[in-house]
Amino acid sequence: MGFKETIQFIRDKFDTKDFINLHAPIFKGNERKYVLDTLDSTFVSSVGSYVNLSEKMIAEISQAKRAVAVVNGTAGLQIALQLVGVQRGDEVITQALTFVATANAIHYNGAFPVFLDVDYDTMGLSPSAVSDFLEEFGERRDSGTFNKKTGRRISACMPMHTFGFPVNLDDLLKVCKKWNIPVVEDAAESLGSFYKGKHSGSFGRIGVFSFNGNKIVTSGGGGMIVTSEEDLGNLGKHLTTTAKVTHSYEYVHDQIGYNFRMPNLNAALVCAQLEQLESFLASKRQLANEYADFFESQTITFRKELENTQANYWLMSVELENLQERNAFLKVTNDSKIMTRPIWQLMYRLPMYQRCFRDGQRNAEFLEERIVNIPSSVRS
């Protein structure tokens, strides 16, 4: 098999005989300086200039009007769903092929995930699957769109841009608009990804990014809610900061909020990382091009960005011919100290989501058996 050549190729690209990570952060910009700044100023916690600066930087990058820094992407998704009106007992449409946080954020709101299929090419939520589902089960009423089989309100649709490949947003937004269902983009993986020249996360009413340690930029842990609706942004800030009302000395809180704000210490790190986003993207694109050229001559297919999109190539992926090939590839590469990982198990395989509604999942199950992530770090 060509795996030997592949292993050699990856080793050459990362120029090491040691273990090669799937995605390791690098801190060669102002990270040290800014983090030390927070210590020197004593503003390490929930207020501080880096929190504000990180929000400003993300608002600019993502082309959204408002950004709210939060403690992690999962918390951001949870609040985003609440902001668009998801309530206990509702249903939220999403994909089964995703990281568990997407489904968990729905569950934290007391809502039920509806797992629909992905498109083969984007690996993200399929507009036709959403349309099919709504045509069969959807019913428009005064108070929203309902699932006529379960009687529950369908109060949001949350697509996820898998590995930084934007979903088919034109078609998805069209379907959701027709059924008057708000879109929240799980853009945790897609900072730096564009669809028809517009940044991911800025299409839905809300988008959410993650700055976890393995993402394209990191704050150690953290996330960002973005929206172009000023009132949603304000309410998002309010809810994630214990719903505290400004007062010169009294503790006044006007509803049940959350302590979901990002500490200044973490914000300092991500500000320094965001300064380097362009160079990170360029480095990844270079590596993706080299992988693409190499895999042309292999039995393994490199997954390339799609027409009309610009992917951030956060985690790069290959498609193996079948499950056996996939397993053989995972074993050989990991045995050779090259970290590779299969795409996630579909959400309905997990014990807590086994009984959720799902459709046929033809593409999701095909991809589940074949997609593997390969080393994708920014090279210094």
What are the catalytic residues? 215
What is the sign, positive or negative, of the torsion defined by CA atoms of 216, 217, 218, 221? negative
| In the complex, minimum distance from the CB of residue 72 to ligand PLP, in angstroms, rounded to a whole number | 4
> Please, which residue, 74 or 241, has the CB nearer to ligand PLP?
74
One of 102, 131, 218, 241 touching ligand PLP (CB under 6 A): 102
Does residue 212 bind ligand PLP (CB under 6 A)? yes
Q: For the chain, how long is the longest CA-to-CA vector?
A: 70
Does residue 218 bind ligand PLP (CB under 6 A)? no
Piece of 67-75, 80-88, 165-173, 297-305 that binds ligand PLP (CB under 6 A): 67-75
* Closest residue to bound ligand PLP by CB: 73
One of 91, 186, 305, 319 touching ligand PLP (CB under 6 A): 186
Q: Which of residues 222-281 bind ligand PLP (CB under 6 A)?
A: 223
**Beta-carbon contacts of residue 12 (< 8 Å; ≥ 6 apart):** none
**Beta-carbon contacts of residue 128 (< 8 Å; ≥ 6 apart):** 119, 171
What's the DSSP call for residue 351? G
**Beta-carbon contacts of residue 91 (< 8 Å; ≥ 6 apart):** 111, 112, 113, 114, 147, 150, 152, 153, 154, 155, 357
**Beta-carbon contacts of residue 284 (< 8 Å; ≥ 6 apart):** 216, 312, 313, 314, 316, 376, 378
Does residue 188 bind ligand PLP (CB under 6 A)? yes
Full strand arrangement of the beta sheet holding 206-210: 66-70, 223-227, 206-210, 184-186
Does residue 91 bind ligand PLP (CB under 6 A)? no
Q: Are 362 and 347 in contact (CB under 8 A)?
A: no
| In the complex, minimum distance from the CB of residue 373 to ligand PLP, in angstroms, rounded to a whole number | 12
Total chain residues near ligand PLP (CB under 6 A):
14
> Please, which residue, 55 or 189, has the CB nearer to ligand PLP?
189
Q: Are 7 and 338 in contact (CB under 8 A)?
A: yes
One of 95, 210, 340, 377 touching ligand PLP (CB under 6 A): 210
> Please, which residue, 167 or 320, has the CB nearer to ligand PLP?
167
The residue behind tokens 């507009």 is 127
Round to the nearest angstrom and report the end-to-end CA distance of the chain: 31
Does residue 72 bind ligand PLP (CB under 6 A)? yes
Does residue 73 bind ligand PLP (CB under 6 A)? yes
Does residue 99 bind ligand PLP (CB under 6 A)? yes
| In the complex, minimum distance from the CB of residue 199 to ligand PLP, in angstroms, rounded to a whole number | 17
* Interatomic CA distance for residues 30 and 181, integer angstroms: 42
Piece of 82-90, 94-102, 259-267, 278-286 that binds ligand PLP (CB under 6 A): 94-102
| In the complex, minimum distance from the CB of residue 71 to ligand PLP, in angstroms, rounded to a whole number | 8
* Interatomic CA distance for residues 94 and 269, integer angstroms: 31
| In the complex, minimum distance from the CB of residue 235 to ligand PLP, in angstroms, rounded to a whole number | 21
Residue 33, both tokens:
């300086």
| In the complex, minimum distance from the CB of residue 208 to ligand PLP, in angstroms, rounded to a whole number | 7
**Beta-carbon contacts of residue 257 (< 8 Å; ≥ 6 apart):** 238, 239, 240, 241, 242, 243, 244
Q: Which of residues 141-160 bind ligand PLP (CB under 6 A)?
A: 160
Residues in contact with ligand PLP by CB under 6 A are 72-74, 98-99, 101-102, 160, 186, 188-189, 210, 212, 223
